Structure 1
């Protein structure tokens, strides 16, 4: 056999085996994708702090990684666990009140319907069955309560699994913080995409991950805190619970927190609390709403260099596909998609965009 053909066959066989081994390894790690992703996210988000510490102690990478991880635990992990525990506790308590009849959801819906008789006539005109909608709303709320109760029970039963994933995430985050630079250099050397392209893509990954997670979390915390505060001021029951719900829903751009405060404002109008309802409505539009309209484009859209509508659809798609992790993964995949196409257009179609840019100038000069 020809030596060149033999070497080509060996290379192809090796590459095929390499791809197969990599896929099997990826399947092996599949149960731990969430801890792996969040470990990568932690190392990216806290990289600036690590860099400052390394400037002071360049030869103490273990100490720097440990201090960086400790900061992450104090600022992020512990507060999230506290808020999540409070949310589940209040949510289960509210669900138990609904089950016992202490809170009658159907009665709340009836009050709104009677307070706004125009809704009934409008529904009849368009052949909308309000009773069926009421039943579905009550069923949806009850189902959400049951889901929350089951999840709380599941977390209690799978406490070992939860803390195992948390421990794996922190363990991996320590090594990614400590050795992240050398790992990225190794990947750049190993991947056959071209060093400049790989540096651009890794930089884009870090930029979008940092912007998406930090930006969305800042918006979520701000909207949740503002929503919980106004609920507490207006003496609406479960202010802590609804604040956390608004924080979670605010991960959905444009509409998130309004799914909570707007129906509550409508109910307050229905029961005659005009002042409280007006305060909540104006507060929701001009305070809570402006946080989303001002902060999100600045913290997320500007740094990711993605249009607002791309951020919206990629976030919704990510949440539908990956669950809560999707609020970061969705925009990240969208940004990598745009980056890959940007590289393709720049390197493989350089003449076409130039021609397209020149054509309008010629046409405009001719029209003059």
Structure 2
């Protein structure tokens, strides 16, 4: 009996191609899920970034404290103490400033009422201006020396625009407090994770990008740490020098002004706001020479600190050229805001490493 030849089964799909397609599909799925997760927590990315910056800056201190035999195994206690210290460093200056403002509020209210009833007297320094004294005096007499109760400026202070600005300011302040609170919680969790977090992060980077990727991550962390150190050291130095100038020129509340100046000087080009207002106050009180001297001295201090001292301090710790440090700080602040001050030098470190590898 004739039998039909057996039919060959269909050829199985190419196993390597199938595996490759599965890996590609998995990669697309993972990327999509990561992007979705980032979109869900998008409002907290800045919070995590700030906590990461502070954790990187304080990581050597954390490891040193953990190495002490008195704190061995007390990770939660160490994390709580460091987080509390960060909170106090922010809350105490703000609290002192608010308390001082409340003490001055009564005098300001009396001055405001007197200006409404009698106007603002012509300051003596206007009559001694080298030029434009007559025009300035005439404008002052016409606009400010008269009772201000019915003036357009006083009416504007009671307008809905000012109330709207006040509500917006209150909302922004509440948002800042909430962000600060979440940042402290995140910072506590990072500190509590301790070495486990750093080792797992480096392990993941080595698996994904190799040893070069891990070294690049470490150099970026060094750049962030050097930037924080440079900002703090230069800020304290500017605050101390300008505090001496405040004392010499006879300004009140010298210690508080020096503290506010130091905090402002930790941010690039913010110190002129403090000593500039102080100089204007001196001029309004008739101390023209003291005001001008304070403005000139403060400008020189800030110019040297911002353009030479701070970039050198940061550049020495990150091994970056002066120009890259300066561009990193200024460009990062312009692009990413306050957080960009720390991100900029880290990105310049990446650029420097890539250039070194290219020309090697």
Q: Any conservation in 2 of the 1:211–1:300 contact (CA below 8 Å)?
A: yes
Closer/same/farther in 2, CA of residues 72 and 107 from structure 1, 3 Å limit: farther
User: Which residue is equivalent to 1:168?
Assistant: 185
* Deviation per residue, 1:43-99 (Å, 9 max, x gap): 322222233344445994x5146325514532x320221113334565788899499
- Post-superposition offset of 1:187: 1.8
Q: Any conservation in 2 of the 1:247–1:257 contact (CA below 8 Å)?
A: yes
User: Which residue is equivalent to 1:196?
Assistant: 211
Greater Cα offset, 78-87 or 307-316: 307-316
* Deviation per residue, 1:120-145 (Å, 9 max, x gap): 99xxxxxxxxxxxxxxxx9xxx9xx9
- Post-superposition offset of 1:31: 1.5
Aligned residue pairs total: 320
- Post-superposition offset of 1:209: 1.0
Q: Any conservation in 2 of the 1:228–1:240 contact (CA below 8 Å)?
A: yes
Q: Is the aligned partner of 1:330 residue 2:344? A: yes
Q: Distance in 1 between matches of 2:82 and 2:47?
A: 18
User: Which residue is equivalent to 2:15?
Assistant: 3
* Deviation per residue, 1:331-355 (Å, 9 max, x gap): 2223223333433x14xxx4xxxxx
* Deviation per residue, 1:290-313 (Å, 9 max, x gap): 544564134212212333343333
Q: Distance in 2 between matches of 1:103 and 1:309?
A: 50
User: Which residue is equivalent to 2:353?
Assistant: 339
Q: Any conservation in 1 of the 2:83–2:184 contact (CA below 8 Å)?
A: no
Greater Cα offset, 227-236 or 265-274: 265-274
- Post-superposition offset of 1:211: 0.5
Alignment of 1:1-368 (within 5 A): 1-57=13-69, 60=72, 62-64=73-75, 66-67=77-78, 69-71=80-82, 73-74=84-85, 76-87=86-97, 97=108, 100=112, 115-117=129-131, 153-154=170-171, 157=174, 161-162=178-179, 164-191=181-208, 193=209, 195-236=210-251, 243=258, 246-247=261-262, 249-251=264-266, 253=268, 255-261=269-275, 264-265=278-279, 268=282, 273=287, 276-277=290-291, 279-281=293-295, 283-284=297-298, 290-292=304-306, 295-343=309-357, 345-346=358-359, 350=360
Closer/same/farther in 2, CA of residues 285 and 263 from structure 1, 3 Å limit: same
Q: Distance in 2 between matches of 1:238 and 1:59?
A: 40
Aligned to 2:354, the other structure's residue is in SS state: helix
Closer/same/farther in 2, CA of residues 65 and 119 from structure 1, 3 Å limit: farther
Runs of 5+ in structure 2 lacking a partner? 1-12, 136-152
Closer/same/farther in 2, CA of residues 59 and 160 from structure 1, 3 Å limit: closer
Q: Distance in 2 between matches of 1:116 and 1:267?
A: 19
Q: Distance in 1 between matches of 2:165 and 2:97?
A: 10
* Deviation per residue, 1:270-300 (Å, 9 max, x gap): 8753552465256435656554456413421
TM-score, length-scaled by structure 2: 0.69
User: Which residue is equivalent to 2:150?
Assistant: none
Q: Distance in 1 between matches of 2:49 and 2:290?
A: 43
Q: Distance in 2 between matches of 1:240 and 1:154?
A: 30
Q: Any conservation in 2 of the 1:188–1:199 contact (CA below 8 Å)?
A: yes
Q: Distance in 2 between matches of 1:320 and 1:180?
A: 31
- Post-superposition offset of 1:210: 0.6
- Post-superposition offset of 1:33: 1.7
Aligned to 1:117, the other structure's residue is in SS state: coil
Q: Distance in 1 between matches of 2:285 and 2:101?
A: 24
